[in-house]
């Protein structure tokens, strides 16, 4: 959502994909910070809600995820 004329993916395409997956859609900008905090808060709230109302459902283990990502090469690692 940084610069409309430099978009790689149109907003409408993002909304369509989100509907297909049954997930919310929110435009964010790492450059300006637009909606970044709001997106993280929404995700955290949803995870908390799922943990409370679906205690036997699948759980996301952040420690396991972080450790697995540390082992993966990234664009910024040397």
- Domain holding 33, by residue range, is 4-70
7-40 b/e with 16+ CB inside 10 Å = b?
eeeeeeeeeeeeeeeeeeebebeeeeeeeeeeee
Residue 60 lies in a domain: yes
21-72 pLDDT per residue, tens: 988 899 998 888 999 999 999 989 988 888 888 878 776 677 787 888 888 7
Our count of domains for the chain comes to 1
Mean pLDDT of 8-14: 90
Q: How many CB atoms lie within 10 A of CB 1?
A: 15
pTM higher than 0.75: no
Residue 44 lies in a domain: yes
Residue 17 lies in a domain: yes
Residue 65 lies in a domain: yes
> CA distances (Å), 10 to each of 3, 7, 13, 16, 24, in order?
11, 6, 5, 10, 16
Residue 59 lies in a domain: yes
Residue 77 lies in a domain: no
């Amino acid at each position: 959502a940084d610069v409309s004329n430099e978009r790689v993916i149109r907003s409408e395409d993002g909304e369509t994909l989100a509907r297909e997956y049954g997930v919310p859609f929110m435009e964010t900008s790492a450059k300006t910070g637009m909606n970044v905090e709001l997106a993280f808060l929404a995700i955290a709230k949803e995870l908390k809600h799922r943990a409370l109302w679906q205690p036997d459902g699948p759980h996301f283990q952040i420690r396991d995820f972080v450790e697995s990502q540390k082992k993966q090469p990234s664009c910024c690692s040397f």
